[in-house]
């Protein structure tokens, strides 16, 4: 977002439109809108069979499956299934980072499924689609995407407007039956495509692969930034903000290629924020 905003500003723009909200409102994330209901069904089935959850947990080894193992240990719900896709750290991983005492003292503040459920509400009888939309809009979009867009665009004095998040549009689309917004024959976001119609070139409407870009953060964090990463996390552990053993485990798993770089990056960002706050105090 920072560099896209920078490029737009350098091109002479002072106001830009963003499609933020389109995926969350109209179902543009197949791995979320498709896999969360599948995971919820799998969790319910495993827990309905005698010994099913325990057997499944024993078969799913390694850091890659920690979120699923934790979901199997909790009551089956859409919230638990959603966190296997959107959660950065599973409950057990978070507890290993903060320690059992703080985890116990924090109580409801660290109830991640409860946090999601309180914002997404109860799923309607026609399926999980609208529930997932609400969860995406009220957690991922609200907590991360909007803040990211606002801060990074304002760093370049660029005003970004989000027409797809107009309150009236959001409320209207969320009230529509899920079936109106899904059509596997035409691909993701069929309602949005139908609304735009011929105003959108066929080349764009019929494109199946979503083009994005990212920076090689995995290479940087394990290469030229490794010394800085190690220093930040060592300071976090020494200050007692997070447990050194939990931090070391994430570092080890990242070095072995077992976890995504975003977990290590999140801890570095948190550590830097805590250090700045302590310095300011």
Same domain, 89 and 54: yes
pLDDT the model gives residue 108:
75
pLDDT digits (tens, 9 = 90+) for 13-43: 999 999 999 999 999 888 899 899 999 999 9
Q: Which domain holds residue 271?
A: 217-280
pLDDT the model gives residue 186:
65
Same domain, 227 and 94: no
In a domain, 90, yes or no: yes
Domain boundary among 154, 174, 205: 205
Same domain, 11 and 119: yes
pLDDT the model gives residue 92:
87
Same domain, 177 and 44: yes
In a domain, 22, yes or no: yes
Count the domains in the chain. Answer: 2
Can you tell me the distance from the alpha carbon of 161 to that of 281, in angstroms, rounded to the nearest whole number? 35
Same domain, 162 and 264: no
Same domain, 240 and 275: yes
Same domain, 156 and 245: no
Can you tell me the distance from the alpha carbon of 164 to that of 186, in angstroms, rounded to the nearest whole number? 21
pLDDT the model gives residue 126:
61
In a domain, 80, yes or no: yes
Same domain, 234 and 164: no
Same domain, 90 and 131: yes
In a domain, 210, yes or no: no
* Dihedral angle over CA of 70, 75, 77, 83, nearest 10: -20
Same domain, 44 and 101: yes
Can you tell me the distance from the alpha carbon of 182 to that of 94, in angstroms, rounded to the nearest whole number? 35
User: Left, alpha or beta for 206 (phi > 0: left; psi -120 to 50: alpha)?
Assistant: alpha
Q: 68, 196, 78: which is closest to 136 by C-alpha?
A: 78
Residues of the chain under the 50 pLDDT cut:
none
pLDDT the model gives residue 115:
87
Domain boundary among 205, 228, 252: 205
pLDDT the model gives residue 36:
92
Same domain, 273 and 142: no
pLDDT digits (tens, 9 = 90+) for 213-229: 788 999 999 999 999 99
Distances (CA, A) of 133 to 51, 223, 266: 33, 38, 24
Domain boundary among 184, 205, 226: 205
């Amino acid at each position: 977002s920072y560099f896209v905003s920078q490029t737009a500003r350098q091109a002479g723009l002072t106001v830009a439109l963003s499609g933020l909200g389109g995926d969350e409102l109209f179902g543009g994330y197949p791995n979320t809108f498709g896999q969360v209901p599948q995971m919820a069904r799998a969790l319910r089935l495993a827990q309905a069979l005698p010994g099913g959850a325990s057997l499944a947990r024993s078969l799913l080894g390694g850091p890659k499956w920690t979120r699923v193992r934790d979901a199997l240990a909790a009551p089956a719900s859409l919230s638990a299934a959603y966190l296997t896709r959107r959660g950065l750290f599973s409950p057990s991983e978070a507890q290993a980072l903060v320690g059992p005492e703080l985890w116990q003292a924090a109580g409801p503040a660290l109830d991640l499924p409860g946090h999601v459920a309180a914002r997404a509400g109860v799923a309607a009888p026609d399926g999980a689609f609208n529930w997932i939309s609400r969860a995406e809009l009220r957690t991922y979009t609200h907590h991360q995407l909007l803040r990211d867009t606002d801060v990074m665009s304002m760093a370049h004095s660029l005003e970004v407007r989000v027409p797809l998040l107009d309150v009236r549009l959001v409320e209207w689309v969320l009230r529509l039956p899920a079936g109106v917004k899904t059509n596997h024959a035409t691909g993701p976001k069929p309602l949005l495509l139908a609304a735009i119609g011929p105003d959108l070139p066929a080349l764009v409407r019929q494109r199946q692969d979503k083009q994005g870009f990212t920076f090689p953060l995995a290479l940087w964090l394990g290469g030229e930034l490794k010394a800085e990463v190690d220093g930040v996390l060592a300071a976090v552990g020494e200050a007692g903000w997070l447990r050194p053993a939990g931090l070391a485990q994430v570092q080890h798993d990242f070095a072995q290629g077992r976890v995504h770089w975003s977990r290590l990056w999140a801890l570095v960002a948190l550590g830097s924020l805590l250090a700045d706050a302590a310095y300011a105090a």
